[in-house]
Amino acid sequence: MGITVSPHSLALYSFSSNLGATVTNFKFGDVNVILGYPNVSDYLLAENPYSGATIGRVANRIANAELSLPLAGQESHKLISNDTYSKKGASYPPSLHYGIFAGPEVKKEGSKSVVTFKLQSPHMDAGFPGDIDVLAIYTLSEEHGKVTLEFEYQAVLDENSSVDETVVALTNHSYFTVSNGPTVEGTEVRLASNSILGINQDTLIPDGMITEHPDVPTGTLQPFAIGSAAPVFDNCFVIDKYCPLDTRTTPLKVFAKLFHPDTKVHLEAATTEPAFQFTTGESMTKAPGFCPRAGFALEAQRYVNAVNNPEWIDQVKLKKGETWGSRTTYTVWEE
């Protein structure tokens, strides 16, 4: 899905969008707020860091690519590992980065443009139990010079599935920038929390503790600057300990604000999710056409490795008759 917007003109069109329900472009004025590639073939390269893609069934890292808690009548489930970007042996989860979604269905709802994708993920897809039906709904709107792109995800376990439960945690893997240069250097960042999931440095898997990030000021949405090489971020920040399975029943919470003094462009991210992964894009060194720190990841999500933590698994465990859901918005305007 390619999106081109300006403060006075709103347009929405599709471009190979059913490939992972991928957002290929979100341009505000002269600034490419969401980074993408010009060709479909670029998205199929192994070096693509899943730019703009819907990721799941479970986003972020899963320890040892395995569901180690009893689920769907089995003591454990071995998953397909795709730890392309792992460090020190950390395992990344299997994913639907390039799942072929049905659609898109595009319609207008008043001043809004709505794009809907559908995906049926079969039992044991990438090792996950259960047949699930997924909706990815993207809404683009403009009001008073501010443009908002909303991501809404929904998943249900098919009533005819051979198992009664599975795990789900979807998000979008776009890279954002409000600068008009090759990197995010000079961006002023404000985060709603400095609490992060503590991790085992050898595996990059959460250790079950919540700690504070030393480079984020104490207090809500206090500003700090991003330089050419520091500070470096690749952390899951906690913004809420309460998490219903369908977080769409809770209010949106602002979790990040970005501003660049050269472009005067602001970006405000809000979500119903309990956490978000914030990275400064060091891994983009492998991406064709991009350089390190070309964009930020702002991935609203559930706690990392919740599938293997008995205290967190209710965030992601989906049973028949239940609905998993989330909403996240990214609003852009010019000062």
For 237-275, write each residue's pLDDT tens digit. 999 999 999 999 999 999 999 999 999 999 999 999 999
Record the pTM: 0.94
For 150-185, write each residue's pLDDT tens digit. 999 999 999 999 999 999 999 999 999 999 999 999
Out of 8, 77, 123, 173, which one is annotated catalytic?
173
- Show the tokens assigned to 68: 């180690």
Instruction: Kindly indicate the confidence band of residue 44, based on its pLDDT and cuts at 50, 70 and 90.
Output: confident
- At 86 the pLDDT is 57
- At 136 the pLDDT is 95
Asked if 260 is an active-site residue, the reply is: no
Asked if residues 42 and 51 have their Cβ atoms less than 8 Å apart, the reply is no
Please report the beta strands in 29-180, taking only residues with DSSP state E, as ranges in sequence order: 31-34, 54-55, 66-67, 77-78, 102-109, 112-121, 132-143, 146-157, 165-167, 171-172, 175-176
The answer on pLDDT for 1 being more than 60 is no
Asked if residues 138 and 145 have their Cβ atoms less than 8 Å apart, the reply is no
Mean pLDDT in residue range 133-144: 93
User: Domain boundaries in the chain?
Assistant: 2-182+240-334
Question: What whole-number percentage of the chain has pLDDT above 90?
Answer: 70
- At 87 the pLDDT is 58
For 272-311, write each residue's pLDDT tens digit. 999 999 999 998 876 778 899 999 999 999 999 999 999 9
The answer on pLDDT for 6 being more than 50 is no
Of 1-10, 58-67, 150-159, the least confident: 1-10
Instruction: Kindly indicate the confidence band of residue 88, based on its pLDDT and cuts at 50, 70 and 90.
Output: low
* Phi–psi pair at 287, nearest 5 degrees: -85, 130
For 202-212, write each residue's pLDDT tens digit. 888 999 999 99
For 46-58, write each residue's pLDDT tens digit. 788 888 999 999 9
Q: Which residues pair with 10 in a beta bridge?
A: 5
The answer on pLDDT for 15 being more than 50 is no
- Stated as kind and residue range, the H or E segment containing 43 is helix 40-43
Write the CATH number of the domain with boundaries 2-182+240-334: 2.70.98.10
